[in-house]
Chains A and B, each alone.
Chain A
Amino acid sequence: MFSIAIRYLCGWASAAANKKEEPEWPPHPDRVFMALVAAWAETGADQSEEQCLRFLQGLPAPRLSASLSYELHAASIIFRRDLNAEERVPVPVYVPANGDRREMKSPIKLMPSERKRNKRYFPAVIPESDTVYLIWPDVELPAEHRAALERLCAKVGYLGDTSSLVQMWVEDNPPPPTLVPTDERHYSCRLRVFRTLEELIADYERDKRAGQYLPRTFKWGYYREPEEKKPPTPSSHFAELLILRRTAGPTLDITDTLGLAKTLRDAAISLWQQRIESSVPEWLSGHTPSGGRSRRENGHLAFVALPNVGHQHADGELKGAALAVPQDVTKDEQTLLLDALFPLDEQTGEVRPLELTLGRLGVWRLEQETRSFPRMVTLHKPVWLGPAERWATVTPIVLDRYPKNGESEAEEMVAAACQRIGLPRPREVVLMPGSLFIGAPLANRFPSLPKKFGKTVDQHTHALLIFDQPVRGPILLGAGRYRGYGLCRPWRSGGEQ
């Protein structure tokens, strides 16, 4: 085993992601390789160092150890709302231009105080730990390359923006990885992985001939968190939450949840039939092949709308959607569905978005949220997964029947609903007409389920659930759980992250 260690000397890492105003974190392996190649090329192109680079480029994609908890540096976001802003807005910095005088109408603007200023972004993150490791667990660093790699590392002074000063070295005892390479593009973040020395040199020569930086082709790899070895936290039988980000389309309110969930379900079923096979599996449709109601032990796929709630300025607007996948649905089955929803365009190599037609309102365009940095807290998976001891509803739970014997019967129904989705029985259930989360309206303001379910808005209730131990989501309770009702979120008293 060996690793390349990178310590950010100022405590923060400044590098732009594909979108220039967003920070890149963790540093992509390709960025590290490029820094090493630059160190080699700019210091005399030593032959032993070149051989070492060729050795590195031939290795499998490295594992990464990088803090997955990080904050944004103030230079990259300036708060538009408050210190716990829901939406993190990148804010431009204006830097003096050194442009062609012909562009300037009046040359007094050459003077430092009058200089035209160009819009630039300096996105940066502050990771919890200032050191990142690229780890090859199954590779020994041959003696002939060690000295060269140590020399190359010592020659790298910054990574990303020049203000992002680093120290790099070869480390034989790195900490365990926090991200490992995977083939599954749907459940991972996408990072640029090593290109080859030849490709980098070709790009360099091409730019030199063109006299400018031309767009380049990167090599992408997928990374996910390693499987946990800790004793498992009790969780619902929904194992996975696949987050879909709205990239275009009309504004919808949290009370439009049912409509959006239905449209998403219809689209999923029809795209499965079009692109995979005509028979729709029970875990997806919720129906047996003969058309009866599914009795699967772990339930079936739930369609969820994700509203902006739970902070001072939350407005309940739907920011995206999600698919809550039952735990016995295999990765292969999920992948089939995601391939059907988001096919890869062979020509461009890009993933095509999913378009949902919402009648006269227009079309919602959805993409899978695979960015390592979702700008909206609503689209951050941990926000919906916990684990936490206390959970509260965002959309109302629909009780199985009208509780004739008052509140205690209703509480019992909610406790049973928890057990029905595989959770332990909560220690306490508190029912209430309103949600604890700002931005979520009263339970009876949500439209009732379609008539065939035979439920009324009188059966809607918000709730706070307290478990004896932290449990993991996604948590969806009650009769409307497959259509986005009964969606819970961890409730942390004294404020919500």
Chain B
Amino acid sequence: MNTLTLQNLKDIVSGNAAAFRRVVKLEPVGGPGAKVFPPTYEGGKYATEKRWFNGKLVDCVLLDSVQSQANRMELALKEAVDEGRISLPVITVDFSKTEAAFVRRVTSLEAPHRIADAILRDSEWRNRVPFRKTSAGKALDNASLQNATELFGYCPTALVFGMWYSTGARGGLGVKFPRAIVSEIIGIGAVPGQRTGGRLDPLKITSSAGPIYETQDGDWTLESQKAKTKADKNGNIVPTLYGKKGKPSEINHGNVTPSLVVQKDQNGNPIDRSGTPTTRMDEWIPIGGFTIDYAQQITVISLPTLRRLRFPVKGKNDADTAARVALTALALCAATLSGEKGYNLRSQCDLYPPDGVPAWEVVGLNRTFSTFSLDAESAIKLFNQAVKEAKGAGLPWHSEGLTLVPREDLVALIVRSRATSDGDQGEEEA
């Protein structure tokens, strides 16, 4: 099979093909039939659906969403940058020399809204120049689909993974770059399973060994006189039990009877399918992962989306193709590097491609495909060549990066709020 060359890529990007597409067949590392644990959503639910395969509907479960895949690809790029395998413009906010050093660094590859993120907005460059006033900030302010040249130089990943600049002067009408790469992983032939949980205490602490009291500083004690006190319903001052009943299990000691892991309501009572608490075990809803026949990752890179972007250099549009080729190579590189890292999606959801990684298809009109193989090293080589050509065409490429420091008041506020944030989860919607 042909390896994708820079010339191939140029022909494809400047032609009328619609997309690059790759479908990777995956299996649990435990082999077919081994259980996988998909992500859970609100209320401990799994995302299931039916899909058509060869005219038949098959039960499927979502193993990794589009958004999650985008984050994994960006992290794969970040690793490649850190290892010096690729050169990529990245904007970093460095917390290490501030009081909030525990935050370390946040880069435009990790910030949720990429270069348009509020963390960058609230940071400064060198002599207290606010990010918005730096050349990178101005590039963001002035970016449009017709002129993405400067943004290309500072944050090309925003053009590939998409970005909505909603915190600028134009608010919700700020520039939007649609994502050009979409990837997701689904489990096919999904059958829900059951799981049990329990704990056998090697210390053999029994529940009658209590009661446990809570001290003033939130620790526990067996001595009632050291406990903090409170008034009971009759107004008597009594020591405070730890947790609800002061049992050793409240401080994570003792046995936990093995039981089925099931969906529960806010009070910890198992619920039935209508959401009502029930004591009938046959009505409980297990949270026990799935067995699947196999999993499938579909990655699509949209070429029309990239062709919509224009990159004027000195008033001329001669560099458009070079920039689009570089962005396509960046997308291919991100997907390939992310695949190279493996498919360890989360605890108990390890997948691998048993037949290796297949070729990329080029989706053209009338479904005439051509296919190209691309391993990680070739993807990196291709990307570096494409970047070189883009630079040659006069496009900016600030691979030296830009390092910002957080504003002082931001640091102070982070430090102050960290001290109080432990119990402060109330305003979260989730």
A contacts, CB < 8 Å to B: 7, 9-11, 39, 42-44, 71-75, 77-83, 91-96, 98-101, 104-112, 114-119, 126, 128, 154-158, 162-163, 165, 167-169, 207-208, 211-213, 312-313
Contact check, A10 vs B48: say whether CB atoms are below 8 A apart.
no
* Cβ < 8 Å to A, chain B residues 338-388: 363, 365
Known: A83-B59, A96-B113, A118-B429. 16 other contacts (CB 8 A): A9-B302, A11-B51, A39-B308, A42-B308, A43-B310, A77-B47, A106-B417, A114-B421, A154-B304, A154-B307, A157-B306, A157-B308, A162-B305, A167-B19, A167-B363, A313-B274
A11–B43 Cα gap in the complex (Å)? Answer: 28
Contact check, B18 vs A9: say whether CB atoms are below 8 A apart.
yes
A416–B184 Cα gap in the complex (Å)? Answer: 56
From A73, A106, A208, contact of B424 by CB (8 A):
A106
Contact check, A79 vs B16: say whether CB atoms are below 8 A apart.
no
Chain A, residue nearest B179 (CB)? A162
A109–B275 Cα gap in the complex (Å)? Answer: 31
Question: Is B389 in the interface zone, CB < 8 Å from A?
Answer: no
Question: Is B414 in the interface zone, CB < 8 Å from A?
Answer: yes
Contact check, A211 vs B304: say whether CB atoms are below 8 A apart.
no
A157–B306 Cα gap in the complex (Å)? Answer: 8
Contact check, A75 vs B420: say whether CB atoms are below 8 A apart.
no
Question: Is B129 in the interface zone, CB < 8 Å from A?
Answer: no
A157–B171 Cα gap in the complex (Å)? Answer: 25
Contact check, A157 vs B304: say whether CB atoms are below 8 A apart.
yes
Contact check, A208 vs B173: say whether CB atoms are below 8 A apart.
yes
A115–B307 Cα gap in the complex (Å)? Answer: 33
A445–B285 Cα gap in the complex (Å)? Answer: 31
Known: A11-B298, A155-B304, A157-B303. A107 touches B417 (CB 8 A): yes
Contact check, A156 vs B304: say whether CB atoms are below 8 A apart.
yes
Q: What are the residues of chain B within 8 A of A95 when measuring CB–CB? A: 67, 112
Contact check, B52 vs A128: say whether CB atoms are below 8 A apart.
yes
Contact check, B427 vs A116: say whether CB atoms are below 8 A apart.
yes
A157–B178 Cα gap in the complex (Å)? Answer: 9
Contact check, A211 vs B300: say whether CB atoms are below 8 A apart.
no
Contact check, A78 vs B46: say whether CB atoms are below 8 A apart.
yes
Measured CB to CB, the closest approach of chain A to B228, in angstroms, equals 26
From B106, B113, B275, contact of A111 by CB (8 A):
B106
* Cβ < 8 Å to A, chain B residues 78-125: 103, 106, 110-113, 116-119, 122
Contact check, A105 vs B273: say whether CB atoms are below 8 A apart.
no
Known: A106-B413, A108-B414, A165-B300. A101 touches B106 (CB 8 A): no
Contact check, B42 vs A92: say whether CB atoms are below 8 A apart.
yes
Q: What are the residues of chain A within 8 A of B307 when measuring CB–CB? A: 154-155, 157
Chain A, residue nearest B112 (CB)? A96
5 A-B pairs closest in CB distance: A157-B305, A106-B417, A167-B18, A74-B47, A157-B304
Contact check, A126 vs B119: say whether CB atoms are below 8 A apart.
no
Known: A74-B60, A163-B179. A98 touches B51 (CB 8 A): no
Measured CB to CB, the closest approach of chain B to A38, in angstroms, equals 9
Q: What are the residues of chain A within 8 A of B145 when measuring CB–CB? A: 42-43
Known: A82-B273, A94-B429. A9 touches B300 (CB 8 A): yes
Q: What are the residues of chain B within 8 A of A43 when measuring CB–CB? A: 145-146, 308, 310
Known: A98-B166, A163-B66. A81 touches B273 (CB 8 A): yes
Interface bracket on B: 35 or more
Question: Is B430 in the interface zone, CB < 8 Å from A?
Answer: yes
Measured CB to CB, the closest approach of chain B to A167, in angstroms, equals 3
Known: A74-B60, A155-B307, A165-B302. A112 touches B110 (CB 8 A): yes
From B47, B50, B103, B274, contact of A81 by CB (8 A):
B274
Question: Is B201 in the interface zone, CB < 8 Å from A?
Answer: no
Q: What are the residues of chain B within 8 A of A154 when measuring CB–CB? A: 16, 18, 304, 307
Chain B, residue nearest A100 (CB)? B167
Contact check, A72 vs B49: say whether CB atoms are below 8 A apart.
yes
Question: Is B195 in the interface zone, CB < 8 Å from A?
Answer: no
A72–B47 Cα gap in the complex (Å)? Answer: 11
B contacts, CB < 8 Å to A: 16, 18-19, 21, 41-43, 45-52, 57, 59-62, 65-67, 103, 106, 110-113, 116-119, 122, 145-146, 162, 166-167, 170-173, 178-180, 182, 184, 186, 192, 272-275, 298, 300, 302-308, 310, 363, 365, 410, 413-414, 416-418, 420-421, 424, 427-430
From A73, A101, A111, A165, contact of B305 by CB (8 A):
A165
Q: What are the residues of chain B within 8 A of A167 when measuring CB–CB? A: 18-19, 304, 363, 365
Contact check, B182 vs A213: say whether CB atoms are below 8 A apart.
no
A226–B376 Cα gap in the complex (Å)? Answer: 51
19 A–B contact pairs at CB < 8 A?
A9-B18, A71-B49, A71-B51, A74-B49, A79-B45, A80-B273, A95-B112, A99-B118, A104-B427, A107-B413, A107-B417, A110-B122, A112-B111, A112-B119, A116-B427, A157-B303, A157-B308, A165-B300, A168-B304
Measured CB to CB, the closest approach of chain A to B412, in angstroms, equals 9
Measured CB to CB, the closest approach of chain B to A208, in angstroms, equals 6
Q: What are the residues of chain A within 8 A of B42 when measuring CB–CB? A: 78, 91-92, 94
A213–B418 Cα gap in the complex (Å)? Answer: 36
Contact check, B119 vs A110: say whether CB atoms are below 8 A apart.
yes
Chain A, residue nearest B164 (CB)? A98
Q: What are the residues of chain A within 8 A of B41 when measuring CB–CB? A: 78, 91, 93
Chain A, residue nearest B417 (CB)? A106
From B21, B62, B118, B275, contact of A80 by CB (8 A):
B275
From B45, B50, B410, B421, contact of A78 by CB (8 A):
B45
Q: What are the residues of chain A within 8 A of B180 when measuring CB–CB? A: 157
Contact check, A110 vs B118: say whether CB atoms are below 8 A apart.
yes
From B46, B60, B418, contact of A108 by CB (8 A):
B418
Q: What are the residues of chain B within 8 A of A107 when measuring CB–CB? A: 410, 413-414, 417
Q: What are the residues of chain B within 8 A of A115 when measuring CB–CB? A: 112
A81–B416 Cα gap in the complex (Å)? Answer: 44
Known: A126-B49, A126-B51, A157-B180. A98 touches B117 (CB 8 A): yes
A16–B272 Cα gap in the complex (Å)? Answer: 30
Contact check, A112 vs B417: say whether CB atoms are below 8 A apart.
no
A92–B16 Cα gap in the complex (Å)? Answer: 37
Measured CB to CB, the closest approach of chain A to B289, in angstroms, equals 15
Contact check, B304 vs A98: say whether CB atoms are below 8 A apart.
no
Q: What are the residues of chain B within 8 A of A81 when measuring CB–CB? A: 273-274
From B47, B119, B167, contact of A75 by CB (8 A):
B47
Contact check, B302 vs A157: say whether CB atoms are below 8 A apart.
yes
From B21, B57, B416, B429, contact of A9 by CB (8 A):
B21
A99–B113 Cα gap in the complex (Å)? Answer: 11
Contact check, A94 vs B45: say whether CB atoms are below 8 A apart.
no
Measured CB to CB, the closest approach of chain A to B346, in angstroms, equals 15
Contact check, B410 vs A10: say whether CB atoms are below 8 A apart.
no
Known: A78-B42, A107-B417, A108-B421. A126 touches B16 (CB 8 A): no
Contact check, A44 vs B146: say whether CB atoms are below 8 A apart.
yes
Chain B, residue nearest A39 (CB)? B308
Contact check, B424 vs A105: say whether CB atoms are below 8 A apart.
yes
